Structure 1
Amino acid sequence: MKSMGTKKIVYGAFMASLITVATMVIHIPSAFNGYIHLGDGLVLISGILLGPMTGGISAGIGSMMADFLSGYAFYAPATLIIKALASFFSGYLYQRLIKRSGIVSFRLVPFISSGLTCSTIVTGGYFLFECVVYGKSAALLNIPLNLVQNSFSLLIAGTLLPFLLRRNELRSLVLKKDYEE
């Protein structure tokens, strides 16, 4: 039992670093100090593979670190919260939807449902943050760019996840609840 808890911590730290790198590698600046990147695909994968708690913590920390390292420290606190919530709720939803079937493999409907949840939280979260900081009309300008980012992230996650779920080691993490460790 403790072995699984240790593995989740290690995978969580590894996922946080992967999210940081994926966010920083392809980095296209957008309006109002934001940027388009592929890290959100891994934010979604983090919640699905590691579960809501571990995945959410990894996604929040990894995304926040990318903001710090890329010179977007102003966004870092909001990013920590938004990406952690996105990964948490998408991972929770995915687990609930696949638990009914009892089969841990790539499932399209749970994946799309989780992906749309993740995208909605990210887009909505940044919209609310930017409304406070820049005003509503300015925040509206970033919504299309967030939707483009989300589309690419879903494509990346949808491409990687079937391969990742073929690994027994990763598949065993999916239905393992964070609080059972």
Structure 2
Amino acid sequence: MNSKKTKKLVFGALMAALTTAATMVIHIPTAMNGYIHLGDGMVLLSGILLGPVTGALAGGIGSMTADLLSGYAFYAPATFLIKTLAAFSAGYLYHRLTRSRLKTGYRILPFLTAGIVCSGIVTGGYFIFELIVYNAASAIINVPFNLVQNLFSLVVSGALLPILLRIHEIRSLS
């Protein structure tokens, strides 16, 4: 295994752990068995910093682990699928939109595009899951909470990304 693959594996495990921690540290319960947290910011950063595939696995595993450790095991499979898809999409979009440019620094428009798509996948994914498991009224009740959570996560990840991209080891991962 070469040095870059090893670094990516280690940073992937680190992002999964940070996603778990960010999800569990601030934990504000919502109406229908959900909770507001900052883990989605780490999911977004995982996709952007590690690339679509490694970032998707880190975001999905970290989020699912938080559900398992927090007593939300029922949500864990859906969380893994939703957050994996969100991180993959965010990473793919960010890298696709920044590929043609020579600078490797922070770019606001690709970040916002990736963040909004990531937020849409998370909010829509949980809406569909809760629509199937509960009912339409219950699913609709959680949409505003998910949007607030995603807004806070977008702000936090938007503040962290420019700082993290200044670190050569992190910048060279994707």
Write the deviation string for residues 3-51 of structure 1: whole angstroms up to 9, x where unpaired: 1111111100010000000000000000111100001001000000000
Offset of residue 153 of structure 1: 0.2
How many correspondences in the alignment? 174
Which residue of the partner structure matches residue 66 of structure 1?
66
Q: In 2, Cα distance between the equivalents of 1:89 and 1:145?
A: 22
Query: For the aligned residues, what is the CA RMSD?
Result: 0.8
Which residue of the partner structure matches residue 140 of structure 1?
140
SS at match of 2:172: helix
Identity percentage over the alignment? 63
Q: In 2, Cα distance between the equivalents of 1:37 and 1:18?
A: 12
SS at match of 2:173: helix
Letter aligned with residue 68 of structure 1 = L
**TM-score, length basis structure 1:** 0.95
Letter aligned with residue 153 of structure 1 = S
Offset of residue 84 of structure 1: 0.4
Q: In 2, Cα distance between the equivalents of 1:104 and 1:9?
A: 21
Q: In 2, Cα distance between the equivalents of 1:167 and 1:80?
A: 29
**TM-score, length basis structure 2:** 0.98
Which residue of the partner structure matches residue 119 of structure 2?
119
Which residue of the partner structure matches residue 164 of structure 1?
164
Q: In 2, Cα distance between the equivalents of 1:20 and 1:58?
A: 10
Offset of residue 101 of structure 1: 0.6
Letter aligned with residue 67 of structure 1 = D
Q: In 1, Cα distance between the equivalents of 2:147 and 2:21?
A: 21
